[in-house]
């Protein structure tokens, strides 16, 4: 009896909330957006303001499409994004609840506590807004912001193909993938301790798992070799260089290989490795590139790799706190179209990485970054645990491959030869 009374009380309050939502008193973000626009002065001279065209509910967010009155620009709305964000989050005495909020309620359990939990969760939520313009002004109001932790799990491997990497999760839970087949080189920037090395480990581990026969690496770790030490016996890793002398040796070996591949392509009239049917790709990964900034020989080779490497199947990954003109040459930057940038302290620093501001406004959350390929997306990068890395690379560890490595990286990139050498060693040692 008591349970029944409680249930009907809970049900009553639930229906009350739902009614409020449907009546538009609680969850009316459209009205709020219109009001915020007016209050921010986003009104044309003739008094006209934005007019709703369409509202659609998507997975994780609601999209409001508006028509802009003549005389106003999308940029003016984008500039007021903070006002929309805060305005949509102003706490009111009436809570915005929809039936979907009650999807996970266990109706057979302690109903009052379950409903209290739903209400508390809703109270804590902060809506996040995105504005886009494609002829119409689109406001996307997300129910939840980005997660503060996005763990790298086995399932992510199935979500990427060929040379793709799960680089992060965006608003609405959208997985952002970087494709090294389409965008060859990448600069990774950001304040110390916010996730550059972790992002490099995500990339290296994914590639070893997805492309074990075709990927190879030269790892240049100028932070003392610690970030990459666990990869040093992996058969896909040709070298781990730990200081600028070893870095130069590694880069010279890469350049030799690049020259041989270019000669092969030229001699056979191929435009690039894709046309030649060469599936192997070599990644030059540099953690803390500032330490080789004043080494002219290293810089010359890096410029060469950035310029000619794409066609020959070489990929440059360049991590540094922020690439000023002194630390990264303009040629390298021009050829590294993709940028991944963690939080930075000033707009000037952000411009050095992204060629525009934005990174200075990122919240101080480890792993939070701006991924810029053709457009900018704020993401939470996956956090990869060392245990997960070890489990993933374990089948590829091969001690004897290291002894051969000196010989291997001097070889040219003639079709298919490099990886066959690996395969032979694996058969011999049966470690993998
Ligand atoms: N994507 C992530 N999600 C959550 N935490 C992260 C993430 N990436 C890194 N971290 C945390 O931040 C710490 C520092 O990360 P990382 O070593 O990658 O930073 P960094 O930018 O390379 O720093 P430094 O410039 O000092 O080398 C990690 O030990 C981890 O605890």
Q: Tell me, what's the ipTM? A: 0.98
Quote the CA–CA distance of 164 and 211 in Å, as a whole number: 10
How confident is the model over 103-115, as a mean pLDDT? 77
Q: Give the CA diameter of the chain.
A: 88
Q: How far is CA 159 from CA 179, 264, 286, 369, in A?
A: 12, 34, 26, 21
The 10s digit of each residue's pLDDT in 301-333 is 999 999 999 999 999 999 988 777 777 778 888
How far does the centroid of ligand 1 lie from the alpha carbon of residue 367, in Å? 7
The 10s digit of each residue's pLDDT in 213-223 is 999 999 999 88
Task: For residue 150, give the ligand 1 atom closest to its CA.
Answer: 3
Residue 63 tokens read as 């999209």
Greater pLDDT, 210 or 404: 210
Instruction: Count Cβ atoms below 10 Å from residue 425 Cβ, excluding itself.
Output: 19
Helices 29-39 and 81-88 cross at an angle (nearest 10°) of 140
**Would the CB of 168 count as within 6 Å of ligand 1?**
no
Q: Which of 109-118, 128-137, 178-187 has the highest mean pLDDT?
A: 178-187
Q: pTM of the entire structure?
A: 0.77
Q: How far is CA 142 from CA 63, 90, 126, in A?
A: 9, 15, 9
Is 26's pLDDT higher than 50? no
**Would the CB of 226 count as within 6 Å of ligand 1?**
no
**Would the CB of 190 count as within 6 Å of ligand 1?**
yes
* Residue 239: strand pairing partners: 218
**369 phi and psi, to 5 degrees?**
-150, 165
**Would the CB of 87 count as within 6 Å of ligand 1?**
no
How confident is the model over 98-121, as a mean pLDDT? 73
Residue 66 tokens read as 């508006």
Task: For residue 199, give the ligand 1 atom closest to its CA.
Answer: 18
- Contact (Cβ atoms closer than 8 angstroms) between residue 75 and residue 137: no
How far does the centroid of ligand 1 lie from the alpha carbon of residue 175, in Å? 20
Task: For residue 201, give the ligand 1 atom closest to its CA.
Answer: 18
Q: What is the pLDDT of residue 313?
A: 97
Give every CB contact of residue 133 below 8 A, 6+ residues apart in sequence. Answer: 68, 74, 77, 78
Residue 257 tokens read as 């290989």
């Amino acid at each position: 009896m008591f349970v029944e009374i409680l249930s009907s009380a809970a049900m009553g309050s639930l229906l009350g909330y739902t009614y409020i939502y449907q009546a538009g008193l609680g969850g009316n973000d459209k009205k709020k957006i219109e009001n915020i626009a007016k209050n921010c002065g986003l009104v044309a001279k003739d008094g006209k303001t934005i007019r709703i065209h369409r509202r659609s509910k998507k997975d994780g967010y609601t999209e409001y499409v508006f028509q802009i009155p003549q005389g106003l620009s999308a940029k003016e709305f984008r500039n007021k994004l903070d006002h929309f964000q805060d305005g949509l989050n102003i706490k009111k005495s009436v809570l915005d609840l929809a039936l979907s909020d009650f999807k996970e309620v266990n109706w057979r359990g302690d109903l009052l506590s379950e409903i209290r939990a739903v209400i508390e969760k809703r109270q804590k939520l902060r809506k996040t807004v995105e504005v886009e313009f494609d002829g119409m002004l689109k406001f996307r109001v997300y129910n939840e912001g980005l997660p503060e932790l996005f763990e790298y799990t086995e399932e992510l491997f199935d979500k990427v193909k060929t040379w793709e990497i799960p680089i992060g999760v965006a608003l609405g839970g959208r997985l952002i993938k970087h494709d090294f087949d389409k965008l060859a080189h990448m600069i990774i920037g950001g304040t110390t301790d916010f996730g550059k090395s972790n992002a490099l480990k995500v990339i290296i581990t994914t590639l070893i798992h997805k492309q074990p026969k075709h990927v190879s690496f030269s790892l240049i770790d100028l932070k003392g070799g610690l970030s990459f030490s666990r990869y040093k016996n992996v058969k896909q890793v040709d070298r781990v260089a730990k200081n600028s002398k070893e870095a130069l040796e590694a880069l010279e070996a890469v350049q030799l290989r690049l020259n041989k591949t270019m000669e092969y392509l030229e001699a056979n009239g191929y435009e690039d490795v894709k046309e030649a049917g060469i599936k192997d790709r070599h990644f030059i990964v540099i953690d803390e590139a500032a330490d080789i900034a004043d080494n002219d020989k290293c810089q010359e080779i890096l410029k060469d790799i950035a310029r000619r490497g794409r066609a020959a199947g070489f990929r440059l990954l360049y991590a540094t706190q922020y690439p000023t003109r002194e630390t990264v040459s303009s040629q390298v930057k021009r050829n590294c179209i993709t940028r991944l940038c963690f939080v930075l302290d000033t707009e000037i620093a952000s411009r050095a990485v992204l060629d525009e501001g934005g990174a200075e406004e990122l919240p101080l959350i480890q792993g939070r970054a701006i991924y810029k390929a053709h457009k900018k997306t704020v993401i939470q990068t996956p956090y990869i645990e060392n245990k997960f890395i070890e489990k993933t690379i374990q089948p590829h560890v091969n001690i004897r491959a290291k002894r051969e490595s000196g010989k291997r990286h001097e070889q040219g990139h003639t079709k298919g030869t490099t990886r066959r050498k690996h395969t032979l060693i694996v058969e011999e040692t049966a470690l993998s």
